[in-house]
Amino acid sequence: MISGFGALNLDKIYIVDKIPGKDEEGYVIDLELHPGGSAANTVAGLASFGMETSFIGKTGSDEEGKILLRDFLERGVDTSGIISAEGRSGVAMIFVDKDGNRAILVDPGVNDTISIDEVNMEIVEKSSIVHMTSFICKNGLDSFRSQIKVAKRASSVSFDPGMPYIERGLKELRPILKQTAIFMPNRTEIEMLFGMDYRESCSEAMNMGVEIVAVKLGGKGCYVTDGKREYHVKAFSSNPVDTTGAGDAFNAGFLYAWHKKRNIEECARIGNFVAGKLIERVGARSYDGINPEKAL
Ligand SMILES: Nc1ncnc2c1ncn2[C@@H]1O[C@H](COP(=O)(O)OP(=O)(O)OP(=O)(O)O)[C@@H](O)[C@H]1O
Ligand SMILES: [Mg+2]
């Protein structure tokens, strides 16, 4: 079983006549709801590839929380590790006007308040890998600290820090990195974290105990190394229409392949394939019909 541990957010995309400035008023033309959160999107992908999956996270006692849970249940993700709490679920309000301009307001809601005694350790112990992504940490560090403790208990950890964690700096991330088997940042993130070129940064990460680093390079594909071998793997040829969730889809493909005991070059190729296919559709969880076995 592969588990995710990260923020659960409902993206509310408001199509608006204009993005209002101070003291201005606009109106909403349409509203789209998309369940999101980086680890959650990756787990959604893994579930659609037929893998046994589970999620550790927190939702509020509101309609948004029900939508987030329902989406997982429909995909066959085990939700017994999702804590339901008083308060608001995580929401990202995304305002888009007709010219494509965007303004985003994030409400972390209850995401940041996961204490370690709320975490279902049975799930952690049953997982062959726990995939972790960032919490915003605007309402406290509980969830981040719980991830450090879970990382110590898990048999294996994969970690995509995203910008919110990169900004915390190397010293704070060290306890998670020390337990990380598969580290999956993008190029900007790893270079900012170590203050070096991405290939040198990978060596530094491996000095800390990381076993495999996969660096996402956007339209250029990815770079993957285990310290003994290194590969630049070209992106899958794609006609992108919506790149939301590209990195999460890469992680899903990579982890699927890793679970099937593929070598790192094949994992990278399958990651690129899944990401390249997903970005040809609208929505970060539009995995229907994507078969990672077709990548090789
Ligand atoms: N234009 C593209 N053509 C083909 N594949 C792409 C393109 N852009 C991204 N990808 C694929 O998506 C993967 C992840 O994208 P990217 O490097 O932008 O990650 P990221 O910055 O972490 O993304 P995210 O913002 O979703 O977290 C790439 O490694 C690549 O496989
Ligand atoms: Mg990313």
Task: Name 222's bridge partners.
Answer: 216, 233
Specify whether the CB–CB gap between 81 and 120 falls below 8 A.
Answer: yes
**With a 6 A CB cut-off, is 245 part of the ligand 1 pocket?**
yes
DSSP 9: E
Q: Is 235 in the pocket of ligand 1 (CB under 6 A)?
A: yes
pTM: 0.97
CB-ligand 1 contact for 218 (6 Å cutoff) = yes
State the virtual CA torsion across 248, 8, 168, 206 in degrees, nearest 10. Answer: -40
CA angle 7, 235, 10 (to 5 degrees): 20
CA 85 to chain centre: 22
CB 285 less than 6 A from any atom of ligand 1: no
SS3 246: helix
**Any alpha helices (H) in 103-185, and if so which ranges?**
121-126, 142-153, 162-166, 170-177
Say if CB 154 and CB 180 are below 8 A apart: no
249 C-alpha to center of ligand 1: Å?
A: 9
Q: Quick one: pLDDT at residue 296?
A: 85
CA distances 119 to 168, 170, 287, Å, are 23, 25, 28
φ and ψ at 170, to 5 degrees? -60, -40
* Residues whose CB is less than 8 angstroms from the CB of residue 131 and which lie 6 or more positions away in sequence, other chains included: 2, 3, 4, 5, 6, 39, 42, 43, 157, 158, 159, 160, 251, 255
Tell how strand 182-183 and strand 212-216 pair up: parallel
Residue with tokens 């900012």: 192
> pLDDT digit of tens for each residue in the chain (296 aa)?
999 999 999 999 999 999 999 999 999 999 999 999 999 999 999 999 999 999 999 999 999 999 999 999 999 999 999 999 999 999 999 999 999 898 989 999 999 999 999 999 999 999 999 999 999 999 899 999 999 999 999 999 999 999 999 999 999 999 999 999 999 999 999 999 999 999 999 999 999 999 999 999 999 999 999 999 999 999 999 999 999 999 999 999 999 999 999 999 999 999 999 999 999 999 999 999 999 999 98
Please tell me if the CB atom of residue 269 comes closer than 6 angstroms to any atom of ligand 1: no
Question: Going by CA atoms, what residue is nearest to atom 19 of ligand 1?
Answer: 247
Is the Cβ atom of 58 under 6 angstroms away from ligand 1? Answer: no
| DSSP letter for each residue of 23-65 | T----EEEEEEEEE-HHHHHHHHHHHTT--EEEEEEEESSHHH
Q: Is 242 helix (H, G, I), strand (E, B) or coil?
A: coil
Q: What are the start-end ranges of the E strands in the chain?
A: 2-5, 9-16, 28-36, 53-60, 82-85, 90-96, 102-107, 129-133, 157-160, 182-183, 212-216, 222-225, 230-233
**Every domain of the chain and the residues it spans:** 2-7+38-89+110-295
Query: Is the shortest distance between the CB of 231 and ligand 1 below 6 Å?
Result: no
CATH fourth-level superfamily of 2-7+38-89+110-295? Ribokinase (3.40.1190.20)
**Atom in ligand 1 nearest the alpha carbon of residue 276:** 5
CB atoms near residue 73 (< 10 Å): 11
In the prediction, which pLDDT does 263 show? 98
250, 272, 278: which to mutate for ligand 1, most atoms within 8 A of CB? 250
